[in-house]
Amino acid sequence: MTDRTARFALPMLHAGQAQKEMTHNEALLALDILLHPEVEAVGQNHPPEAPLPGQCWIVGDAPSGTWAGQEDRIAAWSEGGWRFLRPRDGMLMWSRAEGMAVRRILGAWAVGSLHGTALFLGGAQVVGPQQPPIAMATGGTLMDVEARATIAHVLDALREHGLVARNA
pLDDT tens, position by position, 91-111 = 999 999 999 999 999 999 999
Q: Which residue has the higher pLDDT, 58 or 131?
A: 58
Q: How many CA atoms lie within 13 A of 160 on its CB side?
A: 6
Work out whether the CA dihedral 42, 32, 76, 27 comes out positive or negative.
negative
Query: How many whole angstroms from its chain centre is CA 36?
Result: 14
Residue of 94, 97, 115 whose CA lies nearest to 105 = 115
Give per-residue burial for 13-28: e unless 16+ CB within 10 Å, then b. eeeeeeeeeebeeebe
Distance CA 38, CA 100 (A): 10
- How many Å apart are CA 11 and CA 21, to the nearest integer? 11
Percent of the residues in the chain that have a pLDDT greater than 70, as a whole number: 79
Q: What is the mean pLDDT of the chain?
A: 83
pTM over 0.75: no
Residue-by-residue DSSP string for 36-57: S-EES-EEE-S--SSPPTT-EE
111 versus 141: the higher-pLDDT residue is 111
CA atoms within 13 A on the CB side of 35: 7
Q: In whole angstroms, what separates CA 14 from the centre of its chain? A: 35
Whether residue 163 has pLDDT greater than 90: no
Backbone angles phi, psi at 109, to 5 degrees: -90, 125
In this structure, are residues 46 and 67 in contact, taking their beta carbons and an 8 Å threshold?
yes
Q: pLDDT tens digits for 46-88?
A: 999 999 988 999 999 999 999 999 999 999 998 889 989 889 8
Q: What angle do CA 153, 154, 155 make, to 5 degrees?
A: 90
